[in-house]
Structure 1
Amino acid sequence: MRLLLVEDDEHVAAALSAVLSRHGLDVVHARNGAEALDHLLPADGVSPFAVVLLDLGLPDQDGFEVCGRIRRRTSTPVIMVTARADVRSRIHGLNLGADDYVVKPYDTGELLARIHAVSRRNAPDEHTEQPDESRGPAGDGDALRFGPVLIHLSTRQVTVDGAPVQLTRKEFDLLTLLAQRPGVVFRREQIISEVWRTSWEGTGRTLEVHVASLRSKLRLPALIETVRGVGYRLAGPAS
């Protein structure tokens, strides 16, 4: 797997590259945003990388800006790796299209698990091209509708009152899971297992951030209800 590491600190980049290489990853190091975009967005428009590890504190431009430019040109998974631990930064990064957000200092095993998780989720098209009739009630063929929200399963698009809403892969999968059974509580462990395909406990915080991001993007804060101590559910019946 080829990976682009965007990190301006040479010592951090060298140490991390060595660890990732030992685990079979082919690492290319970019020292700033411009260099990263040159590597990631070649003239033919085809990204040569499976995953991007993006630091936010870059010398030439903010990592958020780099993420936004990456997402406008390619669907290559982006994991933000940064010391910015506040929830607002996490949500902003996810809203820009980042697939995951890891806070420094981190465990190397955790980072490797997240790299492999986003790379697996980047190629689900083979089983999302065709509608899956077992996924729950469909209002329009291969779509789920509840109130103003319409989820198109085959194209992985979401609209609210007819206006498109840009979601990341994980956000779409999370919303679709909850939409399969509106009003039914999904346990946190179940959501993590089905959306993140792991039982790793540290994913819990990531789930909370993605729920907050979904509420913000859909502009329907009451749509996803938190059931304290249990999990989440989609409010109201499907139509």
Structure 2
Amino acid sequence: MHVRALRSQPRILVVEDEVDLSTSLSYSLRAGGYDVQEADCGEAALQAVARFHPDLVVLDIMLPDMSGFEVCRRIRASAENQPAVVMLTAKTQELDRVAGFEVGADDYVTKPFSIRELMLRIEARLKSHRPAHHDFNPERKDASTQDEERVKIGPLIIDKAEHRVFVDQEEVHVSALEMRLLLYLARTPGKMRTRKELLTEVWGYHPEVLSRTLDTHIKRIRDKFGDAGKVIQTVRGVGYRLAVVKDNE
């Protein structure tokens, strides 16, 4: 599979085994200015993610060799590439949507859908997902913009402008949705955010349905942070907050 050297275009991987839909969607995305590659099964999708380094994956749930849930789970288990993931499915049950979010999907579109709707969702997800720049130094920031662009809590640095996270100067790869969750908590360190507020503002879905999904994502972030994960504090039965940690702690 040929990979273009040009990186100015956002890269999108379309994972869909229905040939007509995959062709139509890829055509529309290319017409919209995106660099697009296609995969028709889960294994091909995982290989393409490793080779193509997409900024976003449009992922069908029903694939011939493995489910889209499993593909998404494996993508999220990778430390090297964390594209945004928009899942496609013909299923309408709420449990399927919850399952998608629990394995790390960022958005969910139910078939049949309009290409325009999907394009708008893709644009929104790409705005909140910024590819990594490997020469970035978390300590090399202009003093006038440092406080506005970064949140530093103990060993944790959340860079708002670059949409990147560092623990003890080492970058930790997080998904676009995990970054949105961290950025929302980072607006007001020390202030508790209720579960309902987080689910509404970060996911945009009914909080009662996705309550366990929030817990799953918090646990995933904490696991990635190691000992630094304790900066995300649980307010039992109510919500979460980012701790306020002094520099010498």
CA 135–19 in structure 1, closer or farther in 2 if over 3 Å, else same: closer
Query: Is 1:65 the equivalent of 2:80?
Result: no
C-alpha separation in 2, matches of 1:151 and 1:39? 31
Q: CA deviation at 1:206?
A: 7.9
Query: Is 1:223 the equivalent of 2:238?
Result: yes
2:204 is matched with which residue? 204
Q: CA deviation at 1:168?
A: 3.6
C-alpha separation in 1, matches of 2:50 and 2:67? 18
CA distances 1:83-120 after superposition (whole Å, capped 9, x unpaired): 23333322322232222222222232221122122223
CA distances 1:147-173 after superposition (whole Å, capped 9, x unpaired): xxx975357479xxxxxxx96432443
2:54 is matched with which residue? 49
Counterpart contact for 1:3–1:27, Cα < 8 Å: yes
Opposite residue 22 of structure 2, the aligned amino acid is A
2:153 is matched with which residue? 143
C-alpha separation in 1, matches of 2:98 and 2:32? 30
CA 204–87 in structure 1, closer or farther in 2 if over 3 Å, else same: same
Q: CA deviation at 1:55?
A: 0.3
Counterpart contact for 2:178–2:217, Cα < 8 Å: no
- Identity fraction in percent: 30
Opposite residue 54 of structure 2, the aligned amino acid is F
1:14 is matched with which residue? 23
CA 20–207 in structure 1, closer or farther in 2 if over 3 Å, else same: farther
Query: Is 1:102 the equivalent of 2:109?
Result: yes
Equivalent residue of 1:93, what SS?
helix
C-alpha separation in 1, matches of 2:166 and 2:214? 14
Counterpart contact for 1:94–1:168, Cα < 8 Å: no
Opposite residue 77 of structure 2, the aligned amino acid is R
2:124 is matched with which residue? 117
Opposite residue 205 of structure 1, the aligned amino acid is Y
1:93 is matched with which residue? 100
Equivalent residue of 1:40, what SS?
helix
Stretch of structure 1 that moved more, 123-132 or 95-104: 123-132
Counterpart contact for 1:8–1:59, Cα < 8 Å: yes
Q: Tell me, which stretches of 5 or more residues in structure 1 are unaligned?
A: 145-149, 159-165, 196-202, 225-233
User: How many residues are matched?
Assistant: 201
1:213 is matched with which residue? 213
Counterpart contact for 2:82–2:174, Cα < 8 Å: no
2:224 is matched with which residue? none
Aligned alpha-carbon RMSD (Å): 4.2
Q: CA deviation at 1:32?
A: 0.9
